[in-house]
Structures are given as C-alpha cells and as structure tokens.
Amino acid sequence: MTPDDPATAVHVKSRPGAAPGFFAAEAAGLRWLAEPGAVPVVRVLDVADESLTLERLVPDRPAPEHATAFGAGLARLHDAGAPAFGWSPSDTSWFGPLEEPFDVPARSHERCGTFLAEDRLRPLAERAAPTLGPDGTATLEDAIAAIASGAFDGIAGQGVERPSRVHGDLWSGNVLWTAGGAVLIDPSAHGGHRLEDLAMLALFGAPHLETILDAYEQAHPMPSSWRLDLPAHVLFGLLAHVVLFGDSYTTQTLVTARRVVERADDLRR
C-alpha cells in the first residue's frame, strides 16, 4: 500500500473491472485477521465492487521493540486458529499483486498437505509447466507428492498442526511499519499452517527478521529444527512468482522443490 497525500485520512485501492468479490474478499480477510486483536491490521472503512477504502497509515522506520511486539502478536494471531485448512473468510480468495491477482480455491480440508498440494500447488504447477519444462515439472511434482504425503503437516516431524489463522501473503512488503508498530496489509487470509507466514516473511528478508522470529518462538515454542521445514511452505509463493513474473524465479523454485524432497526423506528416517 502506498501512502496518499498527508492531508488525506484514507487510502483507496481501486481496480477497474475487478472480478466480482475481489475487494470484498480482501475486506473480509482484514476483518478476520483483526478479530482476535493479536496484531494491528489496517482498518477497513468501505468496500465496493471496484475499490476498497482503508485507513491511511503513515510509514515510519522499523524499530526493534516493534519487531518484538509484531513477532509475539503474529504467534497469537496464528494461535487464534481457523475452522479448517484452506477455509477462507469469504466465498472467493485471491493471491498476487493488485494488477494481476489470480483466484485460489476456498475449500476446507482436514489435512494441511492435501490443502497445499491440491488447492495451491498443483493448479499453479499446470500453469507453470511451459516455463519449468519437463524436467522442472517432474522435480516440482516430486515435491508436491512429498507435501501431499503429510510429511509437513506438523513442524519438524513433531505432531500435527491445527489450522492457524494466517495472513497468507506475508512477504515483507505486506507489513507496514508505523510509529506505533507493524501493521498487516494486503492479505490472502485463510486457514493454513503457521509456517506459511513465517516462510513468506523470510523469503525476501524483512527488517529485524531475527528479532521477529525470536519473539515468535518465545510466544509459541517450536522444535529447534523448524526452519528446515520452511521450503515446503514457501514453495507456493515461489511458484506463484514463476506464474506471474516468469523464468527469473525458476531456479530458486526448483532448488526449493529439491530441498522439500530431501527434508521429507530426512523426516521419514
């Protein structure tokens, strides 16, 4: 979100010809994320077919104390839970930039692996196949099969995670730092695995990332090897970049897919 002129009190996102329910889905996601009061979320003021009116936020430099609060709050947000994996607070769900979003299923699943494989990864794998080529597509399918098997339904092979209340597109650009702390914007909110958000946050780096993650672990302890599971939960985000932006993300996506398979093999031993 780009701040408007300081004299204005609102920020209006608009997209002429937006698909039916596009902005309503974002508004529902923001309200759902705000519901537990765990972490600040930009406030929805109005929603229309082709626009969304939000409170205007004034950016500021990220501060370590705000990163600590954000990490702890993000853990509480995830712990607030969701009805099922893949469940969405709206009938439709979207992922990607405002200029070129794509719809994703909003179906409920009992298992995380089924949700990720069938509703997120395989549909994109079909679209990315011409870019990835036969060998790359085969590598990706091996990773999808490992995820579908349930190898990553827990964290580091310990137990099975319940559905978390996740932002769903938590790269660093969707965390807006203000004088009062970090605020969530532009979600693709759904019931998912908590590592989805943490993996996306780490993908391109974020201010005070280690402080955020340390505070998260203080609020929600996890196995010491949890970061080894991140490739399985960032693969969707990378594959989306292949579909949206092309070949420049192919190498990183396939390296990540191979790491998923290797990690799944390790967890089975």
Length of the chain: 269
Report the distance separating Cα 9 and Cα 185, nearest Å: 16
pLDDT tens digits along 228-240? 999 999 999 999 9
127 pLDDT higher than 60: yes
pLDDT of residue 151: 96
Q: Given a cut of 90, is residue 1 above it in pLDDT?
A: no
Tell me the CB-side half-sphere exposure of residue 246, using CA atoms within 13 A: 1
Model pTM score: 0.94
Through-space distance between the first and last CA atoms of the chain, rounded to whole angstroms: 45
Give me the mean pLDDT over the 97-126 stretch.
95
Q: How confident is the model at residue 9 (pLDDT cuts 50, 70, 90)?
A: confident
List Cα–Cα distances, 75 to 110, 155, 159, 207, 225, in angstroms: 21, 14, 18, 17, 18
> Is the CB of residue 199 less than 8 Å from the CB of residue 230?
yes
Domain 58-88+109-268 matching CATH 3.40.640.10: the answer reads: no
Give me the residue spans of the domains in the chain.
Answer: 58-88+109-268
Tens of pLDDT, residue by residue over 195-206, are 999 999 999 999
Instruction: Tell me how far CA of residue 68 lies from CA of 73, 110, 117, in angstroms.
Output: 9, 32, 33
> What would the pLDDT profile of 151-187 be if each residue is shown by its tens digit?
999 999 888 999 999 999 999 999 999 999 999 999 9
- Strand 51-55 to 93-95 pairing: unpaired
Q: Residue 7 pLDDT > 80, yes or no?
A: no
